[in-house]
Structure 1
Amino acid sequence: MKVGLSPEITLLLMACSTNLSTEKKTQLTHFLSQHPLNWERLYALAGRHRLKPFLYQTFLQIPTIPESFLAALQQDCRISSTDNLLKLHQYHVVSAILTENNIDHMPLKGIFLAEHCYPDSGLRISGDIDVLVRKEDVFKTVHLLQTKEYHLNQQQRLHWQQGEQVILTDLFEVSLFKPFFNDSYFDIDLHWQILGFNRHYALFDLAYVRSEPTFSTEREVVLLVIHHGVNNVWQQIYYVNDLYFFLNSRGINWDRLMQELRLYGLEHVFLAGLYWCYQVWNIQLPEFIHELVLSPRIYSLAEAYSKNWEADNSSEFSTLILKQLSFFIKAQTKFNKQLKICSTFISSRVFRYSLFRVGKRLIYLPKELGFITILIRTIQSLFRFLPTHR
């Protein structure tokens, strides 16, 4: 394990286990005796990295854990486990509605992984319910969900007023919410395209996954790497766990997977995540993949990603956008890919719509206004970097 990691992050990585061996218990007990912990920070980081279920399951088998800390974890895990079950049930309700109306769809990320890849769905804390549909089914799906008490938020309603063509041109997903109990909601992110870094670099859709059924699993890995590795720079440890459990639960055609990843410049982003799958979970890999994962270049890239784990909060907005650019460029070995990343980054920031708030009112500016929109977004981005807005 990396020496430079804090005791809290190191412990969270060590706690990622589904079957704690006697040897691992001994290692953990020794580690706890040798490294004073900031228990408050450990609790906060376990929440940020969505690892409380793993930490609780592990700490139940370690005798030296403070009872108050264990009790807090137990309560959190009860809540998240119930929340998962409710979201999973709601997804199945939505899925049945879409199936009845002949709408092809597939779940993405949390709900899908919790149900089909993790050994216990309670280990994978889920956020929104993510569903991918075909572009031609977007409005039919939204109207169906609205009949089931789902609503668009203020920002989405503003876009809806611009017309269907504008929505399909400007957006790649739409968010809907359904009140559940008190201040609780079911949130659905309805996707019809997945951004690969940005709209001008690569776009993926349901047809991409469905077009070659023999390699649909490998293409699902591509979508996972896009979301977790490129768009979110592996900045939370549960992203690594997602990759491990998906790969471990599927038969992978490694040659085809690497070919697909290489096509989009994703090879090293994937291998950096796979490096941590190996370090944390000792994932079994083909020899040629194992050699790639342990190469100096991938080690260096994986270490750079792991520096994001120590932050109190996940990067968002302008900070995350800059990290996406920086890490994706670092992950390339060919100049033409680096050039494409830079050129599409610039074009995607210029030729896009903007929403900005004046008082309580949201204002929409179409992408045709070009540099006016980028000027507004630049000011907004700089504003977010001010200390009072971090």
Structure 2
Amino acid sequence: MKVDLSPEVTFLLMACSVELPAEKRDKITRFVSHQAVNWNRLYALAERHRLKPFLYHSLRQIGTVPDSFLAALKQDCQVTTTDNLLKLHQYHSVAMLLADNGIDHIPLKGIYLAEHVYPDSGLRISGDIDLLVRPTDVFATIDLLQKHQYHLSEKQDLQWRQGEERILSDLFEVSLFKPFFNDSQFDIDMHWQIMGFNQHYALFDLAYVQAQPAFEAERKIVLLATHHGVNNIWQQIYYINDLYFTLIKADVNWSWLLQELSRYGFTEVFLAGLYWCQQIWDLPLPPPVQELVASPSIRSLAETYAKHWETETPSEFSYLIVKQLTLLLKAQTSVGDQLKTCATFLSSRVFRYSIFRIGKRLIYVPKELGFITIFIRAIQSLFRFLPGRR
């Protein structure tokens, strides 16, 4: 790889391994001996990229690591394992509750991948419990969860009180939380549509995933590439690991998958993810796909994504929105797709609902009046770019 990565990020990429063969163990040992690794920065980046389990799994097999560093990783991994078990148990309780009430759903991202895709669920640090339900089941699901100690936040409760039609028009997900112990809680992100880039560009729902059972695995990969690559610009290394373990677990119809991604202009973003799957994990690919991944344009795009791995925190808010636009534009291969990207970006920034806090009160402005609030939102976004606001 030609991208200029720091010793700490390079170390993290080398540590991504399930089985550490002697050759790779020797390579890591030599790397530690010859590189000035900043252990504090390595620890912080391992947390930022959710790679502490992989780092501990690899480093405990070599003898040139500070004992205190290894001990801290071990403790963190024990916490992760316990946390994952609790979340998996809670998800299964919720899944049973939904099934008993005739509500169809599928789990998404972390909790699903940890249980069904990763070789050891403790290797995948999970955050929220993500569910995808049908739009027609949104309100029944929220009512059901509220009856079982889940709550909406103040902001989400305000949106909820706008009524069913407004909720389904303005939102694509809601977040609920359930207090657990002391200050801890279980968080559920309930989706009824998955947004691709923005709401005017592409939307995916449960019907999309289940439309063709023979291609359900491929459709889930489209959602993964959309969330991790398009919406979150591959900015955390665990996104690449998610893609790798998903691909090796599935019997992928590559021709169908690439054609489907092409429908949305997401092919190059996906191929950039494949590039890093190969660099980190030596992912085997069919010759036609390998030829695409090996092209200079895909390598350049992949290295652009990797530059975001060095920052202390992932990009959020206005920073992420600007980078989404910039990178998706770079990934387009036709003028038509570039125009669509720009047009939907502009329309989605104008016609959208807003919530403003005035004193202690939250004010809801519907998306039909979004053009009135665009200047306020623009100023807020610019304010985030000021020095010291990151």
Residue 238 (structure 1) aligns with = 238
Show the 5 A alignment for 1:198-237: 198-237=198-237
Give, in angstroms, the shift of residue 361 of structure 1: 2.0
Alpha carbons 1:352, 1:373 under 8 Å: kept: no
Partner SS state of residue 107, structure 1: strand
Matched with 1:381 is 381
Q: What is the deviation of 1:3?
A: 5.2
**Matches of 1:101 and 1:3, distance apart in 2:** 51
1:150-165 aligned within 5 A: 150-165=150-165
Amino acid at match of 1:93: S
Conserved? CA contact 1:45–1:312, under 8 Å: yes
Which residue does the alignment assign to 2:171? 171
What is the aligned partner in structure 2 of residue 362 from structure 1?
A: 362
Secondary structure of 1:186's partner? strand
Tell me, in whole angstroms, the C-alpha distance in 1 between the residues paired with 2:206 and 2:98. 15
* Count of paired positions: 390
Which runs of 5 or more residues in structure 1 are unaligned? none
The amino acid across from 2:112 in the alignment is: F
Change (3 A) 1:35 1:3: farther
Counterpart contact for 1:354–1:366, Cα < 8 Å: yes
How far is the alpha carbon of 1:102 from its aligned partner?
Answer: 0.9
List per-residue Cα deviations over 1:111-131 (Å, max 9, x = no partner). Answer: 000000000000000000000
SS of the residue 1:199 aligns to: coil
Displacement after TM superposition at 1:13 (Å): 0.1
Say whether residues 1:351 and 2:323 are aligned partners.
Answer: no
* Deviation by residue 1:106-154 (Cα, 9 ceiling, x = unmatched): 0000000000000000000000000000000000000000011000001
Q: Deviations over 1:143-180 (max 9, x none)?
A: 00001100000110110111111110000000000000
AA matched with 2:65: I
How large is the RMSD of aligned CA atoms in angstroms?
0.8
> How much has 1:360 moved relative to structure 2?
2.6
1:181 alignment partner, SS class: coil
* TM-fit CA distance, 1:292: 0.7
Deviations 1:183-229 (A, max 9, x none): 00100000000001111111100000111111111110000000000
2:217 is aligned with what amino acid? T
Aligned to 1:288: 288
CA distance in 1, matches of 2:255, 2:385: 43
Alpha carbons of 1:211 and 1:226: their partners in 2 closer, same or farther (altered >3 Å)?
Answer: same
Q: Counterparts of 1:81 and 1:358 in 2: how far apart (Å)?
A: 42
Alignment of 1:179-328 (within 5 A): 179-328=179-328
Identity within the alignment, %: 67
Name the counterpart of 1:106. 106
Instruction: Give the 3-state SS of the residue equivalent to 2:180 in structure 1.
Output: strand
Partner of 1:131: 131
Give the secondary-structure state (helix, strand or coil) at the position aligned to 1:346. Answer: helix
Where 1:4 maps in the other structure, the secondary structure is coil
Q: What secondary structure, in the 3-state scheme, does the structure 2 residue paired with 1:36 have?
A: coil
Structure 1 residue 386: deviation in Å? 2.0
Letter in 2 for 1:388: G
CA distance in 2, matches of 1:359, 1:122: 44
User: Structure 2 unaligned runs (5+)?
Assistant: none
Q: How many Å apart are 1:362 and its aligned residue?
A: 1.5
CA distance in structure 2 between the partners assigned to 1:303 and 1:370 by the alignment: 36
Q: Aligned letter for 2:236?
A: Q
SS in structure 2 of the partner of residue 175 of structure 1: strand
Q: State how far apart, in whole Å, the 1-side matches of 2:225 and 2:3 are.
A: 26
Deviation at 1:389, TM superposition (A): 2.0
d(CA) in 1 for partners of 2:288, 2:3: 27
Q: Please say if residues 354 and 370 of structure 2, whose CA atoms lie closer than 8 Å, have aligned partners that are also in contact.
A: no
- Cα deviation, 1:294-324, whole Å, max 9, x if unaligned, reads 1101000000000000000000000000000
Give the distance between the partners of 1:88 and 1:323, measured in 2 at CA: 33
Rounded Cα–Cα distance in structure 2 between residues aligned with 1:96 and 1:254: 34
**Given the two structures, how large is their TM-score scaled by the length of structure 2?**
0.99
